[in-house]
Structure 1
Amino acid sequence: MTLLVSDDRRVRTLTLNRPEALNAFDEELYDATADALLDAGRDPGVAVVLLTGAGRAFSAGTDLVEMHRLATDPGLPRGKHGFIGLVDALADFPKPLVVAVNGLGVGIGTTILGFADLAFMAADARLKCPFTALGVAPEAASSYLFPALVGRQHAAWALLSSEWISAAEAQQMGLVLQVCDPEELMAVARRHAEVLAAKPISSLVAVKRTMTEPHRDAVRAARDRENAAFAELMGAPANLEALAAFAEGREPDFSALP
C-alpha cells in the first residue's frame, strides 16, 4: 500500500508509504492521497487529518523517474487525480490538516505546507523547492500561499534558489509552527490534532472556511498560472537537461540555456 490510513479519536492519520522511493509521489500515490482527503472530508467520524511519511523522508516530491517517462512519452496513462487533483483536494479540504514533516521534504513535500493548518517538523528534517533546478515553475499555488505565509523575500528565496531549508530556518520563516526532536514529532503533532478533534466538527469546518474562503479564488488563479507555466516548461530544454542529469547522476548544466 502506497498510503497507510488509520483512525483514532476522530483523527485520521495518512502516512505516505513509499519509503524505498523516499515517499516520492507517483501517479498512484497522488491518486491515493487525493482520494483519502476526499473521503476524510466526507466522513462524519473524522475531525482532523494528520499527514506524515514512513521511513526517513516525508516526501521527495514528484517521482522524477516517472516524470521523465511522462515528459518523453505523452501517450503514457495518467492517474485519475494526479498532481492537479491532489492540489484541488488540498485546497478544498474542509477540516483541519496537520502535517508532521518527519524527514526531507522536496517539491510537493514542501509546498504542501501552504495548505497545512498546523505543521510540525523534526529537527533533522530539511525542505527544498527545486523548481529552478529542474527548469520548471512553482506548484501547488505556492507562488501565492508562500508569500502570504512567510513574506515575499523568504518565499522568493525558497522558490527561486532551490536551496535546502533547515528545520530551524523553516520555523523562523513561519513554514512550520514547531520543531521537535525526531522521536517526539508524532506525539507532539498528534497531541495538537487531538485537541482540535475534541471540538465540534461543525465549528472546526466553519472556522477553517472563514479563514480560507477569502483566498479561494486567488489560490485557484495561482494554481492555473503555475500549471500553465509548468506545462510550457516541462519537456523544454532546461527541464530535459535537469531530468537527464538526475538519471545520469550528475549536476545539470544550464549555462547554454536561456
Structure 2
Amino acid sequence: MKSLEKYPEDKDLLQRHRSSVTQEEVASTSSKCKYETLQVSTKDNITKIVLNRPMKKNAINLVMYREIKQALEEAAKDDSVITVVTGSGDYYSSGNDLNNFTENLEQIIKNNGEWIKNFVNHFIDFPKPLVAVVNGPALGISVTLLGLFDIVYATNRNRFLTKQLTRCFPLITRTVQAVSFPFVQLHMTGATMSVSQEDFEKASAQLKLLKTDPGNEVKLKIYALFKQATEGPCSSAKPGMLDFVKKAKWDAWNSLGSLSKGDARQKYVELVSSLVSESSSQVKDTTAERKGGYETIELTTKDNITKIMLNRPEKKNAINEQMYKEIMQALEEAAKDDSVITVITGSGDYYCSGNDLAGFINIKPSEMEKMTKYGGSLLEDFVNHFIDFPKPLIAVVNGPAVGVSATILGLFDIVYATDRATFHTPFSELGQSPEGCSSYLFPKMMGLGKANEMLLFNKKLTAWEACARGLVTEVFPDQTFQKEVWRRLKTFASYPRNSLALSKQLIRNTEKEKLHAVNSQESKLLCERWQSDEFMNAIVSFFQKKAKL
C-alpha cells in the first residue's frame, strides 16, 4: 500500500487515521502470512485480499491463481461480513503473467482449461458480498472478472483493457478519489498504462515514414508531447510575443500542464501510430473490391472490412422486399469471406427510414392474408441472419434510424452514431408491434420504463439519449464522424479473425435460442397486426399526411 504521506492533500486524513488506530485495534487485525503472492488480512468484519506482486504490476502467475482460490475459500468460511480485493502499488492487476505461463505451458495445456474454469467458479460461487477496489490499471482477466463482483469502486484515472473487441458495459459501480473502510484508507493513484522507452523511440523514428504533412496543429502537438515525455512539464521561460514559432511551441508544451512523462509517452506513441497508419492507408491502393449483383445495396470489401451500404438515398434507404433479400444475401457472403469485421451503414442523409410502407398500399384485399404471412416469414428470416451472424457486426449510423433499422441495433456488437442521428420506433402510431428482438433486448439494455417510451409510446431518441440508454456505443461529431469511425474500424480489422469470431460466439451463444424464440413471437404478432383494421387505417392516414406535405 502506498504511504499517504506522499499525497499532501491527505495529511489531515492521515492524521485522523493514525490517531484512531489504537494498539488494541492493531492487535485485533488477523493477518494471514502463509501466502507468497497475496496479503490477506481480516479486521472489522472485512477480509482484504491484496494482490501483492507490485514489481510485476500484480500479474497473475500460477501461484497467485492458487492462492486467490485459497483466500476466497477461507474468506467464505470466516466471520467477516464482506470481502475486498485490491492491488498493491500502482496497478490493480496487469492480467496473466505470460512469462510464467510460457515456462509452464505443457502443464497448462495438459490441464485443458480446468484450472481457469475452477478459478472463475470460486468468484461465481462466493457467498458473501465481494467488493473490488480498483486502485490502478486493470488488464485481461482482472477486468473480465469484475462482472462477478457485487460492487466495483475505481479511481477516476483508471484504465480497463481486455485487448479484445468488446462493447462497453457498466463495470464500475462508482468512480472515486479515495475509498474508506473502517480498517484502511486507500488513496488510489490510478497510474495510466505506460509504453516502453523502446516503443517511444520507435515512434520517433516512424515520424520519418509520414508521406504527407499532418499540418501545423498536429506537429505542435507532437512536439509538445515529445518534450513532456523527455523533460517533463514546461519549465523554460515564455518567449517574446514576436517570436511566433517559439511561442507557439512553448504554448503547446505548457498546455500539457502536469501530465506525467509516462502518460505523455503513451499519447505520443498513439498519435504517431495513428498518423503512420493513416499515411500508409493513403499510399495503398484505395480501390475496394466491389461485389456486383445488387440493386438496393452496395457491397464492398477492403482492409479486412466488408461494408454493406443501404443504397436507396432517394427513398431515405427505406427497406423494400428486394433490399431485405439483398441484405440477407450480403450477410451470407460476408460470413464466408476473408474479412474480419462487417459494417452496415447508409448512403445519403439517412441511415434507414425503416420499412417501405408503399408496398402495403398495392396489396389486394383477397391477397392480404397470404402477403402478410409471406412478409412475416421474410422478416423472421431477416432478423435470424443478424442473430446468427458469426463475425463482429458494427453499425455506422450516419443519420436517422427508423423502425426495423433501429430495433435490430440490439443485435449488433457495436453501434457508432453521428450526433445528428435519431432513433424512432413509431409502432403504436402505425398500428404495429415491435420486431428485431427489441421487445426482449430493449428492456434488458435500457430498463423497462425507458424501453416502453420507445416501443409503446413512439419516443424519438437523440443520439446522445440512445447512447445513455445503451443502444448506441459512442457518439461522434458529424463533421468528423466518418474519419474517426473508419480509422477505428481499420484498427479493429487488424485483430486476429478467429479470436474475434470465437469471442463473439462465446458472448452471444448463451442467448441465441432465446432470441430466435422472441423473433418468432414478434413476427407472428406482426402478421396479425398487418391484417388488422387499426394497421390499415394507420397506413392510409400516414400517406394522407405525407401527401399534404
Q: TM-score, normalised by structure 1?
A: 0.90
Q: What is the Cα deviation at residue 42 of structure 1?
A: 1.1
Matches of 1:114 and 1:67, distance apart in 2: 26
Amino acid at match of 2:334: A
Pairing of 1:1-258 with structure 2 (within 5 A): 1-43=295-337, 45-70=338-363, 72=365, 73-74=367-368, 82-249=378-545
- Tell me the alpha carbon deviations over residues 200-248 of structure 1, each in whole angstroms, 9 at most, x when there is no partner: 1111111100111111111011111111111111120110111001121
C-alpha distance 71-242 of structure 1, shift in aligned 2 (>3 A) = farther
- Tell me the alpha carbon deviations over residues 59-99 of structure 1, each in whole angstroms, 9 at most, x when there is no partner: 000001113334844366968x8322221111110000110
Matches of 2:508 and 2:339, distance apart in 1: 20
Q: What is the Cα deviation at residue 195 of structure 1?
A: 2.3
Q: What is the Cα deviation at residue 152 of structure 1?
A: 2.0
Aligned to 2:134: none
Q: 1:71–1:234: 8 Å Cα contact kept in structure 2? A: no
Amino acid at match of 2:314: E
Where 2:468 maps in the other structure, the secondary structure is helix
C-alpha distance 150-64 of structure 1, shift in aligned 2 (>3 A) = same
Q: What is the Cα deviation at residue 191 of structure 1?
A: 2.6
Q: What is the Cα deviation at residue 33 of structure 1?
A: 0.6
Aligned to 1:256: none
Q: 1:138–1:226: 8 Å Cα contact kept in structure 2? A: yes
- Tell me the alpha carbon deviations over residues 102-151 of structure 1, each in whole angstroms, 9 at most, x when there is no partner: 11110112112111111111111111011111111110111111122222
Matches of 1:6 and 1:93, distance apart in 2: 17
Matches of 2:444 and 2:317, distance apart in 1: 27
Q: 2:408–2:437: 8 Å Cα contact kept in structure 1? A: no
Matches of 2:334 and 2:445, distance apart in 1: 25
Please list every run of 5 or more consecutive structure 1 residues that lacks an aligned counterpart in the other structure.
252-258
Matches of 1:95 and 1:22, distance apart in 2: 27
C-alpha distance 203-55 of structure 1, shift in aligned 2 (>3 A) = same
Where 2:436 maps in the other structure, the secondary structure is coil
Amino acid at match of 1:181: P
Where 1:244 maps in the other structure, the secondary structure is helix
Matches of 2:464 and 2:346, distance apart in 1: 20
Matches of 2:515 and 2:308, distance apart in 1: 24
Q: What is the Cα deviation at residue 55 of structure 1?
A: 0.6
Matches of 2:529 and 2:421, distance apart in 1: 29
Where 1:214 maps in the other structure, the secondary structure is helix
Identity of matched residues, %: 29
Q: What is the Cα deviation at residue 40 of structure 1?
A: 0.4
Identify the range of structure 1 (187-196 vs 240-249) with the bigger mean alpha-carbon deviation.
187-196
Q: 1:53–1:101: 8 Å Cα contact kept in structure 2? A: yes
Matches of 1:130 and 1:117, distance apart in 2: 24
Matches of 1:233 and 1:116, distance apart in 2: 26
C-alpha distance 42-234 of structure 1, shift in aligned 2 (>3 A) = same
Matches of 2:424 and 2:364, distance apart in 1: 22
- Tell me the alpha carbon deviations over residues 155-175 of structure 1, each in whole angstroms, 9 at most, x when there is no partner: 121111112111111111111
Amino acid at match of 1:31: K
Matches of 2:360 and 2:437, distance apart in 1: 20
Identify the range of structure 1 (207-216 vs 176-185) with the bigger mean alpha-carbon deviation.
176-185
Matches of 1:135 and 1:239, distance apart in 2: 4
Where 2:475 maps in the other structure, the secondary structure is strand
Q: 1:98–1:116: 8 Å Cα contact kept in structure 2? A: yes
Q: 1:71–1:235: 8 Å Cα contact kept in structure 2? A: no
Q: 1:57–1:102: 8 Å Cα contact kept in structure 2? A: yes
Q: TM-score, normalised by structure 2?
A: 0.44
Q: What is the Cα deviation at residue 26 of structure 1?
A: 0.1
Q: 1:98–1:189: 8 Å Cα contact kept in structure 2? A: no
Amino acid at match of 2:330: A
Q: 2:298–2:309: 8 Å Cα contact kept in structure 1? A: yes
What is the aligned residue count?
Answer: 249
Matches of 1:10 and 1:219, distance apart in 2: 28
Matches of 1:95 and 1:71, distance apart in 2: 41
Amino acid at match of 1:56: D
Please list every run of 5 or more consecutive structure 2 residues that lacks an aligned counterpart in the other structure.
1-294
Q: 2:379–2:523: 8 Å Cα contact kept in structure 1? A: no
Matches of 1:71 and 1:63, distance apart in 2: 17
Aligned to 1:254: none
C-alpha distance 107-207 of structure 1, shift in aligned 2 (>3 A) = same
Taking only aligned residues, the RMSD between alpha carbons, in angstroms, comes to: 2.0
Q: 2:391–2:504: 8 Å Cα contact kept in structure 1? A: yes
Q: What is the Cα deviation at residue 176 of structure 1?
A: 0.6
Matches of 2:299 and 2:543, distance apart in 1: 32
